[in-house]
Structure 1
Amino acid sequence: MNTAYLQALEFTFSVTAPVFLIVFLGLYLKRKQHINDEFIGIASALVFNICLPTLMFLSILNSGINLAEQARLAIFAALAAIISFYSFWWLSPLLTQDPQDRGVAVQSAFRSNLGIVGIALCAKAYGGPGLAVGALLLAVVTPIYNILSIYALTKSLRQNEKLQWHRLFLDIIKNPLIVSIACALIGLAMGWQLPAILDETGRYLGSMTLPLALITIGGSLSLSALKKASSLSAYTVFAKLVLLPAAVTLAAWWYGLSGVELGCLALMFASPTAAAGFVMVRAIGGNHQLASNTIALSMLGSAISISLLLYLLRLNALA
C-alpha cells in the first residue's frame, strides 16, 4: 500500500509541478521586468492564432483515434459543460444579490482554461494520446463555453438586449482553434498524411505552444488582485476547483469512462478559470475586477486542487 501511495504521489508531481513551475516562472519574469505587457500580448496572439492551432491539428491528425469510439466521450463532455453552467446559474442568487455580478461569477465558475492549462496537463500526464483526447474535448466544449458565457453576461448586464446569434456563430466558426481541429478531424477521417517537411515544421511550431502559453499566463497574473479578492471570489473559485471537477469526474466514472479519457476529462474540467473570460467581461462592461480576482485565485489554488484530484485518480487506478 505504501508503494502505491508513493507511486501515485510521484506521478502526480511529475505532471503538475512542471506546468505550474513554468506559470510561476512567467510571474517572476514579469515582476523582474524581463517580459512586459507588450510581449505578453504578442506572445498570446502567436499562441492563439498559430502555435496552438498547429499543435491541435497535428495531435489529432497523427493520433489514429477512432472518432466513432470517441462519440460517448464527446457527448458526455458537451452535457457536462451545459449542465454545469445551468447548475451554477440557478444557484448563483445564493452567492450574490447583485444581478450584474451574477454572469461574471457563473462564467468564472464553469469555464475552464482548456486551451493552455488543460491541454498542458493532458500532454504531460498521457503524452500523445492525452493531447489527442484533450484536443477533441477542446473542440467540443469551447463553442459551448463561448455561447453560454455570452448568454450569461448579456443576461445579467444587459437584460433588455437580445443576443446577436449570427455574429456569435461567425465568431465561433472563425476561431483558429475550431478551424484547425475541424480540419484535423476531416483529415483523420479521410486518411490524410502530411509531407515529412510540413509535419516537421508543424512540430517545431507546436513545441513552442505550451511553454510560451504558460509563461504568458504567469505574466498575466495579478497579485494585487488577490488583495482585493472578495468572499464572492472565494466561493466562485471553490465551486470551480472543487465542486465542478468532483461532480464531473464522479459522473464520468459512473458513465463508464476510464483511463486516458477519464483522466483528460477530469484535468480539463479541473483547470482554473479561463483567462479569456476577463477579456469578455471587460469588453461587455462587467465587473472585470471580480473576473481578475477569480482568475488569479483559481490559478494559484489549482496547483493544489489538480494535484489532489490526479493523485486520487492514480491511487485508485482510475486514470
Structure 2
Amino acid sequence: MMQNILFTAGIVTPVFLIIALGFILKKLKIISDNFVAVTSKFVFNVSLPALIFFNISEIDLSSTLNIKEIIFICVVIIATYLIIWIISKYFIKDGKNLGVFIQGSFRGNFAIVGFAVIDSLYGNISLGKASLILAFILPLYNILAVVALTVPIMEEKAINLKSTFIEILTNPLVLAVVFALPFSYYKIMLPPVIIKSGNYLSSIALPLALIGIGANLNVKEIKKASTFAFASSGVKLILLPIIATFLAYEFGFIGQELGIIFILFACPTAIVSFIMADAMGGNSKLAGNIVLITTLGSIFTITIGLYLLKAFGLI
C-alpha cells in the first residue's frame, strides 16, 4: 500500500508543485500578468508545438498509432458531451450558463496538465503517443465547444463555420502534428543540431505552461462560485474519468493505454474554455470558476485515481 502511495505521489506531486510555484511567484509579484500573458502565447505558439513536433517525428508511427484507442476516446467524448447536454438543459435554463456548463464538464487540459502527468508517469517517450491522440481530440474539442457555446444562445449569435474551420486548421498544435507526421512515417532523420535545439525548446513548454496555470489561479473566487460551477467540476473530475476508465477497461485497454485514457478524462478544464466563453457571449465568470475548481480539485482526483489503478494492477 505504501509503495503505491509513494508511486502515485512521485508522479503527481512534481506537476502540481510547479503549478503552486506559479501561484506563489504571482503572489510575491516576481511574475506579472504581462509575463503570464506573453509566456502563455509563447508556449501555445512555439514551445508546445515544438514539443509535439519533435516527439511525433521521432516515433515509429506504425507501432505507436492505436486507431482503436483513438476511436474509443473520440466516441466517449462525443457520447458524454451529448449526455451532459441532454441532462443539464433540464436544470439550466439560461443559455449563457448552459453552454459554459457543458464545455466545462467535458473539455480537459490534456495538452498541458495531461502531458505533464503522462511524462511523469511513463517518461518522455510516451508523449509521442499522447501527441497523436491530441491531434484528433483537439479539433473535436473545438468543434463541440463552439456548438455548445453557440446553440443555447442561437438568437444572439450565429455559428460561423468558416472561421471555426480556419481556426482549427491554423491551430499551432494541430499544425505541429501535420508537419511531424511525414518525418515519422518516412523515418526522416533531422540533423542532430536541430534535434538538440528542438529539445531545448521543448523542455521549457510544460514548466512554463504549468507556472502560467498557477499564476492565473485566484483562490478567493471559490467562495463566489455557483452551484453550477461545482456541479460541472464534479462531472469533469469524478464522473467523466470513472465512466471513461471503466468503459476503457471493459473494451480491453490496460497498462499504458488505460493510464493515458484515465489522465485524458481526469484533466482539469482547459483554460481556453474561459477565453472562448468570454469571446462567444457565455458566462465567463462561471467558466473561470470551473477552471479554478477543477485545477485545484484535480490534485486530489488524479492522485486518487492513479493510486487505485496502480493498486489494482491496471497500469
Query: Do Structure 1 and Structure 2 share a fold, with TM-score over 0.5?
Result: yes
- 1:103, distance to aligned residue in structure 2 (A): 0.4
Tell me, yes or no, if structure 1 residue 270 matches structure 2 residue 266: yes
Which one of the candidate residues 59, 66, 81 is aligned to 1:63?
A: 59
- 1:94, distance to aligned residue in structure 2 (A): 4.0
| Partner residue in 1 for 2:143 | 147
Cα contact 1:137–1:265 (8 A) shared by 2 = no
Alignment deviations for residues 32-75 of structure 1 (CA, whole Å, 9 cap, x no partner): 11111100000001100110011111111222242685111111
Structure 1 spans left out of the alignment, 5+ residues: none
| Partner residue in 1 for 2:35 | 39
Identity between Structure 1 and Structure 2 (%): 37
Which one of the candidate residues 204, 207, 212 is aligned to 1:211?
A: 207
The DSSP-based 3-state class of the residue aligned with 2:282 is coil
| Counterpart residue identity of residue 263, structure 2 | L
Structure 2 spans left out of the alignment, 5+ residues: none
Alignment deviations for residues 296-318 of structure 1 (CA, whole Å, 9 cap, x no partner): 00000000000011111111111
- 1:88, distance to aligned residue in structure 2 (A): 0.7
Which one of the candidate residues 12, 16, 19 is aligned to 1:20?
A: 16
Cα contact 2:60–2:185 (8 A) shared by 1 = no
Q: In 1, distance between residues paired with 2:36 and 2:294?
A: 20
| Counterpart residue identity of residue 275, structure 1 | I
Cα contact 2:274–2:287 (8 A) shared by 1 = yes
Cα contact 1:102–1:156 (8 A) shared by 2 = yes
Structure 1 122/156 Cα, relative in aligned 2: closer, same or farther at 3 Å?
A: same
Tell me, yes or no, if structure 1 residue 241 matches structure 2 residue 234: no
| Partner residue in 2 for 1:172 | 168
| Counterpart residue identity of residue 61, structure 1 | S
Cα contact 1:95–1:232 (8 A) shared by 2 = no
Which one of the candidate residues 216, 223, 228 is aligned to 2:219?
A: 223
- 1:162, distance to aligned residue in structure 2 (A): 3.5
Which one of the candidate residues 269, 290, 295 is aligned to 1:299?
A: 295
| Partner residue in 2 for 1:93 | 89
Alignment deviations for residues 206-233 of structure 1 (CA, whole Å, 9 cap, x no partner): 0001111100010011223212111111
| Counterpart residue identity of residue 265, structure 1 | I
Structure 1 148/196 Cα, relative in aligned 2: closer, same or farther at 3 Å?
A: same
Tell me, yes or no, if structure 1 residue 198 matches structure 2 residue 209: no
- 1:186, distance to aligned residue in structure 2 (A): 2.3
Cα contact 1:133–1:264 (8 A) shared by 2 = no
Which one of the candidate residues 43, 50, 73 is aligned to 2:46?
A: 50
Structure 1 63/183 Cα, relative in aligned 2: closer, same or farther at 3 Å?
A: same
Structure 1 69/144 Cα, relative in aligned 2: closer, same or farther at 3 Å?
A: closer
Alignment deviations for residues 178-208 of structure 1 (CA, whole Å, 9 cap, x no partner): 0101222222111111110000000000000
Q: In 2, distance between residues paired with 1:153 and 1:129?
A: 36
- 1:7, distance to aligned residue in structure 2 (A): 2.1
Q: In 2, distance between residues paired with 1:43 and 1:124?
A: 22
Q: In 2, distance between residues paired with 1:14 and 1:64?
A: 29
Q: In 2, distance between residues paired with 1:95 and 1:212?
A: 38
Structure 1 7/65 Cα, relative in aligned 2: closer, same or farther at 3 Å?
A: farther
Cα contact 1:99–1:157 (8 A) shared by 2 = yes
The DSSP-based 3-state class of the residue aligned with 2:62 is coil
| Counterpart residue identity of residue 134, structure 1 | A
Cα contact 1:139–1:177 (8 A) shared by 2 = yes
TM-score (normalizing by structure 2): 0.97
Which one of the candidate residues 129, 134, 138 is aligned to 1:138?
A: 134
Q: CA RMSD in A?
A: 1.3
Alignment deviations for residues 107-130 of structure 1 (CA, whole Å, 9 cap, x no partner): 000000011101111111001332
| Partner residue in 1 for 2:179 | 183
The DSSP-based 3-state class of the residue aligned with 1:66 is helix
